[in-house]
Amino acid sequence: MAYFYRGSAISLLQHRVLHPNALQSRAFCGSTRDFSRVYRAPATRRTPEEGVSIHGKVSASSPERVQEESPPTTSWVERWLPAAARPYAMLARLHKPDAIWLYTWPCLWSIAMAAEKAELPDMKMLALFGFGSVILRGVACTVNDLLDRDIDKKVERTKSRPLASGALTPAHGFYFLVFQVLLWLGFLLQLNNQSLIMGTLWLVLFFFYPLMKRLTHWPQAFLGFAMNCGVFLGSTAVKGSLDYAVLLPMYFAGICWTLVYDTIYAHQDKTDDLKAGVKSTALNFGDNTKYWLSGFGAACISSLALTGYNAHLAWQYYPFLAAAAGHLTWQVSTVDLSNKSDCNSKFVSNKWFGAFIFGGILCGVLAS
């Protein structure tokens, strides 16, 4: 028996020496499993003095230290969804949920503002608009990727998107867009008739945004017009009417806020956008970007202060507004516009700006 095992081991060793790629053979013969990943040798380091391999450890005397690659981070989409569904989820950006808040907050602001004094806002309406924002963001991203798929191939950050990379065909993207539009209409049917009309018109704006990148140096301004229409839709859904003295300053504040965060976001792609012929405020403002962002930030906070004054909110609203102003100041003063990672981090942090304003409106209404 011992001879049998020893002979098998020798045979296996000979097979591995004579056929070094044997472990990979099934990966090229129709098997969906990559057998080359069954075994991965630990990273090898070599000290120049001794010429000795050190596994999993770097010698302190080595002048050249090789850092081990950290495993790529995966989203919940990659961990939990079936393989066939992942490209669609990524097309709707479900793997990057932070930006959904940028669609949601203007809606929630107006819903909270529409509540009766000293009462909580309609929780069912808040939840419904949270769900609707996920759908709307998916529609906007799908439209954007369908129209920009050729441009996305030229941009480092976007070339791996499902349509740009070929994981989905344009036909797949179109059918998925129709499905999402039907979901959005289903959401609108839960609201009153005025909201149904307004919500349909709101959706149309997102079909034009990708074209603005080709026509104007201010596509972020058009995005602001589109992103913040939830200010009007939320109030209409609750009250069936619009208080323009309150909502117009809030809408203008939202546009200025969008110009801040999306200009920062656009600085990630400014080099690639310039090569691809895509316009943006990041390219338009250039070295003066922070001056422009400071102006938009000041206009945003001033308009929100006017909103609170016209709505007769209690003083508790204003400390939250001051915190939001501090957040904008921190963003503009500390962002490194040449650092893609920092630009993305500052962009994502805007969910907290929206939270500050919502908290202020909530406290201001309850204390009124």
Best CA proximity match to 126, nearest among 202, 234, 39, 204? 234
**CB distance 87 to 141 below 8 Å:** no
Give residue 20's identity as a one-letter amino acid code. P
The two three-digit tokens of residue 273, written as one number: 């956008």
- pLDDT of the chain, 368 residues: tens digit per residue: 444 334 444 343 344 434 444 433 333 333 333 333 333 334 434 433 333 333 333 333 333 333 334 445 678 888 898 999 999 999 999 999 999 999 999 999 999 999 999 999 999 999 999 999 999 999 999 999 999 888 888 888 888 899 999 999 999 999 999 999 999 999 999 999 999 999 999 999 999 988 898 899 999 999 999 999 999 999 999 999 999 999 999 999 999 999 999 999 999 988 888 888 889 999 999 999 999 999 999 999 999 999 999 999 999 999 999 999 999 999 999 999 999 999 999 999 999 999 999 999 999 999 98
What's the full length of the chain, in residues? Answer: 368
Helix axes 100-113, 350-366, angle to 10 degrees: 10
Q: In whole angstroms, what is the distance from residue 120 CA to residue 104 CA?
A: 18
Kind of pairing between the strands at 44-46 and 53-55: antiparallel
DSSP annotation of 53: E
Tell me what pLDDT residue 6 has: 40
Tell me what pLDDT residue 287 has: 93
Q: In whole angstroms, what is the distance from residue 149 CA to residue 153 CA?
A: 6
pTM of the entire predicted model: 0.79
Tell me what pLDDT residue 276 has: 82
User: Architecture of 82-367 per CATH?
Assistant: Orthogonal Bundle (1.10)
**CB distance 52 to 46 below 8 Å:** yes
**CB distance 21 to 34 below 8 Å:** no
DSSP annotation string for 221-286: HHHHHHHTTHHHHHHHHHHSS--HHHHHHHHHHHHHHHHHHHHHHHTTSHHHHHHHT---HHHHHG
Count Cβ neighbours within 10 Å for each residue of 335-350 and write b for 16 or more, e otherwise.
Answer: bebeebebbbebbbbb
Nearest 5 degrees, angle CA 316-CA 123-CA 356?
Answer: 35
